[in-house]
Structure 1
Amino acid sequence: MISVFGSVNMDLVAYVEAAPALGETVTGRAFRTVPGGKGANQAIAAARAGAEVAFLGAVGDDAFGPQMRATLAGAGVDVTGLRTVPGPSGVAQIVVDDQGGNSIIVVPGANGTVTAPSETDLEVIARSDVLLLQLELPIEAVTAAARAARAAGTTVILTPAPVQPLPDELLDAVDILVANEHEAAAITGQAGHEDAVRDLRARVDWVIITLGSRGALTAGPGAGPALHVEAPKVRAVDTTAAGDTFVGALAAAHVERRTPDVSVRFAGAAAALSVQREGASTSMPVRAEIDRSLARSPHPEVR
């Protein structure tokens, strides 16, 4: 089982030809409200990739809360651990341009009230094979959840986003770190991907740096050199949830005990499918779609 201790937001998404500069007003071509948040996105991605998933977090008692709960449950995610607190739910204001790029402002809302895992959260984490973490909850809560997972023998996968300094006690409890190239550079101070991987590998057993359309760089477990895994060639429509799709699918593959390089290829196939559709949680592929994509892969070991 995969547990996700993380954020859930309502994404307020505007689609434009080009994102506005500071002080500029532009006309959009569409607007959607889509349940999202890095935690919820990863939970849905993992469930659609075939895993058993439990979500741990909070929504507000506003109109968005029941919608986000229903979206998670509808994707097959166990929402018993999703609590409702007074006040607004988290929201994310997202601008998506016609090249598929995006910019995002996150307002934590109910997510900011999760300052520590509850006793129920800790029990679920201890029963899990994998715990997925991100940084849209308070850092002290994320650290406490990671340490509890490490003590229970649960594999910890961390997405260090939104990027911020990582406490030593958090990194010491992480088994797999999945960062995009900008996050990896900010954390390590290294502009080169190989240098960033080297620095991160000194602290974490398995490091993956995602490179968008160029695939991913992965190193570990083991002492071998970093491996570049190419991404399927597709036309991106909306990259909003690509990273979360990658992580959720990676976790699903890891629970199935696939090898590291096969897990990365599986995750890359899922992410490539997601960027061909608009939306965050709505863009994520189901297992049959990922399997069909891999059936066309030039790498027979992932089929």
Structure 2
Amino acid sequence: MISVFGSANMDLVAFVPVAPKRGETVTGHRFRTVPGGKGANQAIAAARAGGEVAFLGAVGDDGFGAEMRTALAEAGVEVHGLRQVPGPSGIAHIVVDDEGGNSIIVVPGANGTITGPSGEDLAAIAGSRALLLQLELPMEAVVAGAQAGTVSGVPVYLTPAPAQQLPDELLDAVTVIVPNEHEAAAITGVTRPEDAMEALLDRVEEVVITLGSEGALYGSRSGSRLRVPAVKVEAVDTTAAGDTFVGALAVARTEGMDVPGALRFASVAAALSVRREGASTSMPTRREIEDTLG
């Protein structure tokens, strides 16, 4: 079982030729609502990649909350740990341009009410083979989740997004940190990804830095260093590529794939996701990933 302790947002997605500048109004092509949030995205990505997944988080008592619960369940994610709280669910306002780039505004809603894992969450984490965390919950909740994983001997994967300075107590509890190159630079103050990776390895056992169309870097304290090339595709929407990568990586590692194989598996999953619009709706199935791997 892979547990994901994180955010669930309804994505409000506007598709535009070019993203508006400050003070500018542009006319969009289309608008969609798509279940998302970095936590829910990673849970759905892992489930579609073949993992057994439980989601731990919160939604509001509004229509968006009900839709997100249904979307997770239909993707094969266990949702007994998805609590309902009074008030609105989290939302993300996403602008996607014709080159597949995006900009995102997140309003936490129900996600902001979580201060830590519940008793049921702790039991789920303790019975897991991996715990996935992100930074769309309050920091105290993320730290408590990571520490719960460490106490139980569960590998803790952290996606440090949205990028911010990370407290020592969080990094001390993380097994694998998976930032993109911009997040790695923001955390370490080092621009070159290879140097940022070395800085992160001073604190975390394993580091994977995703580089978009340039692939991914991997390093471990044991001395391993790898660079995995990206699968070349025409990007339509990059919104959930990073979450797809992490979800697929966790599945591959928990199944016992070696590091190079797991990184290739995750890279293919991420590449397939950018060929389709949306976040959770873009994530590939296990069969699609394996067919591409050949």
TM-score in terms of structure 2 length: 0.99
Counterpart Cα distance in 1 of 2:145 and 2:274? 30
Deviations 1:184-234 (A, max 9, x none): 00000001111100000111111000000110011125213x321101111
Counterpart Cα distance in 1 of 2:166 and 2:218? 20
Q: Return the letter of the residue paired with 1:115.
A: T
Counterpart Cα distance in 1 of 2:218 and 2:260? 8
The match for 2:66 is 66
Counterpart Cα distance in 2 of 1:194 and 1:185? 10
The match for 1:284 is 283
Aligned-residue sequence identity (percent) comes to 69
Counterpart Cα distance in 2 of 1:116 and 1:177? 20
Task: Work out the number of aligned pairs and report it.
Answer: 294
- Contact 2:201 / 2:221 at 8 angstroms: preserved in 1? no
Deviations 1:244-296 (A, max 9, x none): 0000000000110111121111000000000000000000000000000100x
Counterpart Cα distance in 2 of 1:116 and 1:185? 28
1:93, distance to aligned residue in structure 2 (A): 0.1
Query: Which structure 1 residue ranges, 5 or more long, are not aligned?
Result: 296-303
Please give the root-mean-square deviation of Cα atoms over the aligned residues, in Å: 0.6
Residue 102, structure 1, aligned to residue 115, structure 2: no
Residue 55, structure 1, aligned to residue 55, structure 2: yes
Query: Which structure 2 residue ranges, 5 or more long, are not aligned?
Result: none
Q: Return the letter of the residue paired with 1:258.
A: M
Counterpart Cα distance in 2 of 1:173 and 1:114? 19
- Contact 2:231 / 2:267 at 8 angstroms: preserved in 1? yes
The match for 2:207 is 207
Q: Return the letter of the residue paired with 1:215.
A: G
Paired residue secondary structure (2:69): helix
The match for 2:139 is 139
The match for 2:237 is 238
The match for 1:252 is 251
Counterpart Cα distance in 2 of 1:129 and 1:228? 26
TM-score in terms of structure 1 length: 0.96
4+ residue stretches of structure 1 with deviation over 6 A? none
Q: Return the letter of the residue paired with 1:171.
A: L
Counterpart Cα distance in 1 of 2:244 and 2:85? 27
Counterpart Cα distance in 1 of 2:10 and 2:104? 12
Paired residue secondary structure (2:40): helix
